[in-house]
Amino acid sequence: MDLSAKTDRQIQNLIENHRREKKLDAPLAKAAVEEQARRNKAFNFQAGIEFLIQAASDKRPVNYRELAEAGGILKADDKWYQHMTRKIPLSQIVDYAHTQGMPAITSLVETTQGITDNILSGFQKGLDDTGIKVPSGMSIRDFYLSERQRTFDWVSKR
């Protein structure tokens, strides 16, 4: 299927339909997620992913501002406003990572105050949207930290 001929809405519908069926790993879903990432003009998706992979290689977390700068949402000397976090497509990043066999690399993202309840609830939403389940008996915080470690381990084996 030629996804380049599809509208943004059609691409989103393809992803949502596969998500509902818990088939986000299907070839068409993977292609749709990649096409959605390619079309994102507000956030340089490839640069953002590469930045997160480099941060994992350095074994360090990143904050929203750093990811926004890496993705071209703002420049280093621009003023940061809280609403800018909405411009970072964290759920799309989780989808992309999942369809590429990567860990949930958004586990590297935290606020300048660290791992807050807002970070964890956003992480949970991204997991839910992608269909990733937190193992039974594990808190979201523990899973977040285990995914962070898994990201560090994954990038060291690349």
Give residue 82's pLDDT: 67
Chunked into runs of 10 residues, the chain (158 residues) has average pLDDT values of 90 91 89 88 90 97 93 86 77 90 95 92 90 93 97 94
- CA 26, CA 4: separation in Å to the nearest integer? 18
User: Is 95 within 8 Å of 15 (Cβ atoms)?
Assistant: yes
Do 67 and 102 share a structural domain?
Answer: yes
**CA–CA separation, 125 vs 156, rounded Å?**
27
Domain co-membership, 31 together with 102? no
**123 and 71 share one domain:** yes
Same domain, 55 and 130: yes
Cα–Cα distance, 134 to 136 (Å, whole number): 6
In this structure, are 122 and 87 located in the same domain? yes
The CA-based diameter of the chain, rounded to the nearest angstrom, is 45
What per-residue string of b and e applies to 100-128 under the rule 16 or more CB within 10 Å gives b?
A: eebbbbbbbbbeeeebeeebbebbeebbe
Q: What per-residue confidence (pLDDT) applies to 89?
A: 86
Q: Domain tally for the chain?
A: 2
| 19 and 52 co-located in one domain | no
Q: Can you tell me which residue has the tokens 């930290």? A: 145
Are residues 84 and 24 part of one domain?
A: no
Instruction: For residues 34 and 49, state if they share a domain.
Output: no
> Model-level pTM?
0.83
Same structural domain, 114 and 140: yes
Is residue 35 domain-shared with residue 52, that is, in the same domain?
A: no
Contact 105, 53 (CB under 8 A): yes
| Same-domain check for residues 33 and 65 | no
**How many residues does this entry show for the chain?**
158
Can you give the residue range of the structural domain that contains 30? 1-39
Q: What integer pLDDT is reported at residue 11 of this predicted model?
A: 94
DSSP letter assigned to residue 7: -
Same-domain pairing of 23 and 66: no
List phi, psi (to 5°) of 59. Answer: 55, 50
